[in-house]
Amino acid sequence: MSTLLDVDDLRVTFPTRTGRIEAVRGVSFSLGRERLGIVGESGSGKSQTGRAIMGLTPPQAEVTARKLAFDGIDLLTASPRDRRALRGKRIAMILQDPKYSLDPVMSIGRQIVETLRTHEKVGKAEARDRALAMLEAVQIRDPARVFDLHPHEVSGGMGQRAMIAMMLIAGPEMMIADEPTSALDVTVQLDVLGILDRLVSERGMGLIFISHDLRLVSSFCDRVIVMYAGKVVEQLPASELGRAQHPYTRGLLNCMPKIGADRHPLPVLDRKPEWAA
Amino acid sequence: MTSALSVDRLEVVFDRFRALKGVSLEVQSGESFGLVGESGSGKSTLLRAIAGLAPIASGSITVNGKKLGARRDKAFYREVQMVFQDPYGSLHPRQTVDRLLQEPLAIHGFADGQKRIQRALDEVGLGTGFRFRYSHQLSGGQRQRVAIARALILEPSILLLDEPTSALDASVQAEVLNLLEEIRRRRKLTFLVVSHDLAIITHMCERLMVMQNGEAVEHLTADDLVERHVSKDYTRNLLRASDGFVRTA
């Protein structure tokens, strides 16, 4: 399996008035053309890891790594211009809530066409045709109608599909999905995941799926990385989640209520300081 | 057993949109009752209508044997309290925890405020060290505990819970769910819980109602749900969705 992304000892540090805060503290992993899940609770650094790869870390923060390479390109020394060319074209990102990640004053179709024409030389008519085809690929029933709608006129599930269409139109090789379904209803969630799954496997993309939901990630991904306090505490194949070793992973799995399990009170997570060490 | 809360053919209309289309339910005293459904199904609207936060077009609500009129008296708000979904939005950002908890006591004219505040904080596991902090100095779980303390301080008999843990991390969710169960047992409270998560509802509630498009789809017991004795496709879909993603080859 060819390696698409190589991350070695990634650190993201934020300077604050009370000292330096290390949000990500030495994360290492590599990604091939597979589905990798990054799981953790709020503040574990999972989103900052995704953003650092994408190059979306706020300017005041400091990103260091022994190696951060995408397909042989060193992302740390790449010029802003080169990174801009990568972003959207070869690496795409889906964010949590389509309400905030889509431009509210631009029709959905125009946003998709804008992405395409930024990265490829195509005529207006062809761009429109490709955008419509992409909307169809994310199972939007009436693409021509949705093309002209503004984001506030569509539902959350539809908005997220449009977002996926926009991210996939330039044919990226790697996609980072940061909580792509957390803002959606459970039933819609599965539709969106199904679309994402099909497109990723058909196109042979690498996917980084960032989520707080351990169970969802394990049912969707091939491999899971569990993060706690900016570090990777465990890395394992999703199918072996039941055999997780680290007490944090096990505690996280254990503390969720399950249908059919009558446990009162629920086991709670007993955080040990040495996990963060 | 007596009925603590009974809702009869309740209709809520926003402009011309019927958010609730004649919903009825009956909750026994000391029972925990769940409401599930997708967003837009009317479950939160039903809760808000009971709390007096949504316009009621027709139908009636009876609390502890007393039918509610158009204007609700203070006694009603002592009996029925609500905990909201988002602990970041439901606490006043410029009031300390102490000030927040004093508000309901002042409205209802309680004299022994100091003691009650201390007791309420102890009960939700925060202790008096949190008393003079602002909400931005607290974590999400701590804020939700403050919101629960504020609801409990008037010693209500019915607690309305609108997605009480959906904004919290899984490990914090477990702590808050345990706290709610313990309080219910100790104070013999009646719960009406809204959640989109079937696992939480089967964990917390004995009976539940499934809602869709402002209507009740079916009434179930938690055991029915566990054994999957459901009659409607809509409920079956919700159950399947809660099992997680299944790859179709």
Count how many pairs of residues, chain A against chain B, have C-beta atoms within 8 Å: 89
A1 band by pLDDT with thresholds 50, 70 and 90: low
What token pair was written down for B46?
């039903």
d(CA B9, CA A88): 52
Residue range B3-208 forms a domain whose CATH class is alpha beta
Q: Rounded to the nearest 5 degrees, what angle is found at the Cα of B19, between the Cα atoms of B16 and B24? A: 130
Give the closest of A186, A220, A271 to B242, CB-based. A186
State how far the Cα of B249 lies from the Cα of B245, in Å rounded to an integer.
13
* Residue B170 DSSP SS3: helix
For each of the domains in chain A, give its residue range(s) and CATH number, in order of start: 5-271 (3.40.50.300)
What does the alpha-carbon distance between residue B142 and residue B124 come to, in Å, rounded to a whole number?
9
Residue with token string 């804020």: B143
Is residue B168 very low, low, confident or very high in pLDDT (cuts 50, 70, 90)? confident
Q: Where are the domains of chain B?
A: 3-208
Under a CB-based contact definition with an 8 Å cutoff, are residues B145 and B179 in contact? yes
Residue B42: its chain A contacts at CB < 8 A?
none
- The answer to whether residue A199 scores a pLDDT higher than 80 is yes
Q: Which residue of B has its CA nearest to A254?
A: B171
Q: Choose among A186, A256, A258: nearest Cβ to B238.
A: A186
Q: Reduce the DSSP state of residue B38 to 3 states and report it.
A: coil
Contact A269 B241 (CB under 8 A): no
Residues whose CB falls within 8 Å of the CB of residue B16, separated by 6 or more in sequence, listed in order:
none
Distance CA A134, CA B62 (A): 53
Overall residue count recorded for chain B in this entry: 249
pLDDT one-digit tens code per residue, B108-163: 998 888 999 999 999 998 888 899 999 999 988 899 999 999 999 999 999 999 99
CA distance B82 to A138: 40
Question: What dihedral do alpha carbons A81, A83, A84, A90 form, nearest 10°?
Answer: 140
Question: How high is the pLDDT of residue B57?
Answer: 92
Contacts of B79 (CB under 8 A, 6+ apart): B63, B64, B156, B157, B158
Residue B14 · residue B207 · CB < 8 Å? no
Chain B CB contacts of A269 under 8 Å are 171, 174
**What number is the average pLDDT over the span B164-186?**
91
With a CB cutoff of 8 Å and minimum separation 6, the contacts of B74 are: B107, B108
CB atoms within 10 A of CB A104: 9
Of B85, B171, B130, B145, the closest CA to residue A42 belongs to B171
A124-177 pLDDT, tens digit each: 999 999 999 999 989 888 999 999 999 999 888 889 999 999 999 998 999 999
Compute the distance between CA of residue A113 and CA of residue A123 in angstroms, rounded to an integer: 10
Residue range B30-54: average pLDDT? Answer: 92
How far out from the chain centre does Cα B24 lie?
17
Q: Is A74 strand, coil or helix? A: strand
Q: What is the DSSP letter of B71?
A: S
Name residues 237-276 of chain A within 8 A of B (Cβ).
Answer: 251-252, 255-260, 263-269, 271
Q: Of B196, B202, B226, which has the smallest distance from its Cβ to A186's Cβ?
A: B196
Using only the alpha carbons of chain B, give its radius of gyration: 18
Average pLDDT value for chain A: 90
Minimum CA–CA partner of B198 in chain A: A259
Q: What are the start-end ranges of the E strands in A123-273?
A: 174-178, 206-211, 223-228, 231-237
Note the pLDDT of residue A215. 81
The rounded distance, in Å, linking the Cα atoms of B51 and B54 is 8
This model of the complex carries an ipTM of 0.80
The model's pLDDT over A55-113, given as tens digits with 9 standing for 90+, comes to 999 999 999 999 999 999 999 999 999 999 999 899 999 988 888 889 999 999 999 99
Verify whether the Cβ–Cβ distance B241 to A186 is below 8 Å: yes
Using an 8 Å CB-CB cutoff, list chain A residues near B198: 259
Residues of chain A with C-beta less than 8 angstroms from the C-beta of B247 = 197
Is residue B135 within 8 Å of residue B97, measured between CB atoms? yes
Helices (H) and strands (E) in chain B, counts: 9, 10
User: How far apart are alpha carbons A40 and A230 in whole angstroms?
Assistant: 9
Q: CB distance A257–B246 less than 8 Å? A: no
